[in-house]
Amino acid sequence: MEIHQSTVILLLLLCVSSYTHAQPAHTMRRYQNFLNHHRGPYVNVEMCTSEIRHRKITDSAGYCKPVNSFIRAPDHLITAVCSGGTRLYYNLFRSGTPFDVVTCRLKSGQTHPDCEYDRGRLSIGNIVLGCEHGLPVHYEMGSHFMLRRPGSSWGFDALRKGT
């Protein structure tokens, strides 16, 4: 039996492709959704309404999100939180370095495209991300999350206990 060179090349390409794209499909969908909702290296405080409309950002039921935050950093720095951040609980990781974050709050409207947002608020601080297979899939909180006192009833301890 003779193996054709083109067959060998095809098999090698498939092996390389499956290795580089080994993330489960649902993880990749969640990662792409995370990037659409939260990556905004160029977003400024004046862009909340236009950016959220352009990206068609809504909550899971299709309504206007009450709050949405944009992390002003490139993909590789955001993704690095999942591998280089401090594990807080299960799949939550806190960044070791601060990020610029623009937080947008809903002013009026209920459904896309009628969502109107107030001027955003720029904050600088560590971020907390939910990660799956080494990729960010959920933005938990920004710098205010880090201000809790250890053992207090507010902040991360309260979230973990469900209070």
The number of C-alpha atoms within 13 Å of 76 and in the hemisphere containing its C-beta is 0
Give the Å distances, CA to CA, from 73 to 15, 40, 42, 47, 98: 32, 7, 8, 16, 10
The residue annotated as part of the active site, out of 4, 21, 26, 38, is 38
In angstroms, the CA 120 to CA 140 distance is 18
CA distance 45 to 52: 12
Task: Check if 138 is active-site.
Answer: yes
Instruction: For residue 73, give the 3-state DSSP assignment.
Output: coil
Task: Let me know if 38 is a catalytic residue.
Answer: yes
Distance CA 100, CA 81 (A): 14
Catalytic one among 4, 21, 138, 144?
138
Backbone phi and psi for residue 84, each to the nearest 5 degrees, phi listed first: -115, 0
Question: Which residues are catalytically annotated?
Answer: 38, 138
